[in-house]
């Protein structure tokens, strides 16, 4: 009789392998970006939004919001992908005003518009600006669980939902949305 391997143990090993591969890819991207002078400059779009270029087509945003249950402003991060005249927001900042500020920056700097908005989970730092993204004409995609949670909370819901995985495009750049299982929240992608 061979060794017994529990499903949870195998899953943790698989997730660990994925984490190691992802870390290696990030190290390679960071090295490539550094050689191109990318990532050295942080731009302040407003007192509560900063962006930093990660790769030729990707920018990290950091935004803050004052929430009544906390003494200090709370930060959130997300990703801006830009390719040609197309842009994708992965996470929708804290509120509509912040999404409009980022959309204006994308339009001015890249002559691009947000085509897709992807809240990665139901929390406000991920889905707070979804209504503004819709007003700007963006299609939105979220995990079906996220859509249900936002509906139950009375929030703006994504126009489209998926289970498992979904592919969208930023220009000709393929963006794969994947639900690997519960993490920060039970609906995060």
- Between 38 and 57, the more confident residue is 57
Residue 150's Cβ-count burial label (10 Å; 0-12, 13-18, 19+) is buried
Residue 143 CB coordination number (10 Å): 27
pLDDT for residue 3 is more than 60 = no
Residue 2 binned pLDDT confidence (cut-offs 50, 70, 90): very low
Note the pLDDT of residue 138: 98
Q: How far apart are CA 119 and CA 159, in angstroms?
A: 11
Q: Are 125 and 91 in contact (CB under 8 A)?
A: yes
Note the pLDDT of residue 25: 52
Q: How far apart are CA 23 and CA 10, in angstroms?
A: 20
Q: How far apart are CA 4 and CA 104, in angstroms?
A: 56
pLDDT in tens, 159-172: 999 999 999 999 99
């Amino acid at each position: 009789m061979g060794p017994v391997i529990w499903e949870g143990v195998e899953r943790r090993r698989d997730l660990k392998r994925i984490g190691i591969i992802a870390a290696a890819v990030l190290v390679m991207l960071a090295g490539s970006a550094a050689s191109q002078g990318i990532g050295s400059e942080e731009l302040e779009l407003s007192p509560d939004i900063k962006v930093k270029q990660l790769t030729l087509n990707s920018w990290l945003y950091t935004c803050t919001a004052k929430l009544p249950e906390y003494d200090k402003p709370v930060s959130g991060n997300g990703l801006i992908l830009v390719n040609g005249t197309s842009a994708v927001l992965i996470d929708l900042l804290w509120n509509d005003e912040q999404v409009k500020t980022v959309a204006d920056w994308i339009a001015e700097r890249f002559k691009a518009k947000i085509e897709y908005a992807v809240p990665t989970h139901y929390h406000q730092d991920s889905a707070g600006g979804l209504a503004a993204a819709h007003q700007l004409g963006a299609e939105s995609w979220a995990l079906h669980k996220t859509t249900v949670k936002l509906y139950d909370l009375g929030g703006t819901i994504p126009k489209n939902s998926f289970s498992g995985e979904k592919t969208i495009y930023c220009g000709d750049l393929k963006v794969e949305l994947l639900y690997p299982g519960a993490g920060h929240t039970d609906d995060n992608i």
